[in-house]
């Protein structure tokens, strides 16, 4: 046994010693084949994803839906919601398809395209909360969703992340205004609530309602003031365009006051369209329509 092992070791030494060039060439060839196989596998996986999306749309098959691996952090939640919604769908009804990669939307019936439009999708950026304990991830959800409701002239209620994001862009601190409290200002007044309004109350008790809009938030003494939900200053008109198709969990297909961003990955998760396109879809797409996002 020892003699056999010794002879084998000597053979390996001779192989790399006298035929080293051939040996290393063979090893390199093997590594190249492995790399090409990996690339082919990745391409095959991408093609399979597209095929599975097509099967999911045409078959509305829960087993296929379960098998699709979206590769997103919220994949399990999206697929769970998709299974719950599957019973309400019919294979012969129109549906919406959104490609995050191509940033394009199609409204289809079978293989016929009823309407097509460019879209903006989630930026994929992360905004870390104060203290770094958690973060907001601005991604468009993947999977099967459903149009749950429709709105004309939608009003946007900015989430907390909007104020954190805006404050950091401007180098400001963030101050949350809570009901029943007041934020002192350097001139001796306070910022507080009066009914559903955020007001500035001076030292003489005179109150002046404050105005707020996207990009023109309330700022005082180097702090961005975050109005409570339900106040007039926490409602922004026009930001979401002319119409909105709600998909649930705060996500929607909606218009925009910045049409130049359509076609880019710039949103905070919603699918953004030009106002003329969302108006057309609003008229065409009924509540309950499946929406496939991949």
CA 292 from centroid of its chain's CA atoms: 14
- 265: exposed, middle or buried (Cβ count in 10 Å: 0-12, 13-18, 19+): middle
Residue 86: which H helix or E strand, with range? helix 75-86
Cα–Cα distance for residue pair 235/137, rounded to 1 Å: 23
* Strand-pair category, 121-122 with 265-267: parallel
Burial class (CB in 10 A: 0-12, 13-18, 19+), 114: middle
- Using alpha carbons, list the distances in angstroms from residue 121 to 180, 267, 269, 294: 38, 5, 6, 11
Q: How far apart are CA 30 and CA 37, in angstroms?
A: 11
Region of residue 249 (left: phi > 0; alpha: psi -120 to 50; beta: else): left
8 Å CB contact between 250 and 159: yes
Catalytically annotated residue among 162, 243, 268, 270: 270
Angle at 33 between CA 30 and CA 39, to 5 degrees: 145
268 tagged catalytic? no
Active-site residue, from 162, 243, 254, 268: 254
Angle between helices 20-59 and 2-18 (to 10 degrees): 90
- 162 is a catalytic site residue: no
**Which active-site residues does the annotation give?**
254, 270
């Amino acid at each position: 046994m020892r003699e056999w092992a010794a002879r084998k070791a000597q053979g390996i030494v001779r192989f790399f010693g006298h035929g080293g060039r051939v040996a290393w060439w063979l090893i390199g060839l093997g590594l190249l084949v492995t790399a090409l196989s990996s690339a082919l596998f990745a391409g095959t996986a991408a093609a399979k994803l597209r095929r599975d999306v097509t099967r999911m749309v045409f078959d509305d098959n829960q087993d296929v839906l379960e098998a699709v691996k979206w590769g997103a952090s919220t994949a399990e939640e999206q697929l769970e919601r998709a299974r719950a919604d599957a019973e309400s769908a019919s294979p012969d009804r129109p549906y919406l398809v959104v490609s995050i990669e191509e940033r394009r939307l199609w409204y289809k019936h079978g293989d016929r395209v009823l309407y097509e439009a460019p879209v903006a999708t989630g930026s994929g950026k992360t905004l870390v909360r104060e203290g770094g304990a958690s973060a907001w991830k601005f991604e468009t959800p993947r999977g099967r969703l459903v149009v749950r409701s429709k709105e004309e002239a939608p009003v946007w209620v900015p989430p907390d992340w909007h104020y954190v994001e805006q404050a950091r862009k401007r180098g400001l601190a963030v101050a949350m205004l809570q009901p029943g409290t007041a934020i002192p200002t350097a001139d001796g007044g306070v910022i507080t609530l009066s009914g559903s309004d955020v007001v500035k109350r001076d030292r003489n008790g005179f109150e002046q309602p404050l105005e707020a809009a996207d990009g023109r938030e309330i700022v005082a003494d180097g702090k961005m003031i975050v109005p409570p939900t339900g106040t007039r200053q926490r409602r922004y008109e026009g930001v979401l365009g002319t119409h909105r198709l709600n998909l649930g969990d705060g996500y929607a297909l909606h218009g925009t006051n910045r049409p130049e961003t359509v076609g880019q990955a710039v949103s905070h998760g919603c699918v953004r369209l030009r106002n003329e396109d969302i108006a057309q879809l609003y008229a065409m797409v009924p509540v309950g329509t499946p929406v496939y996002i991949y």
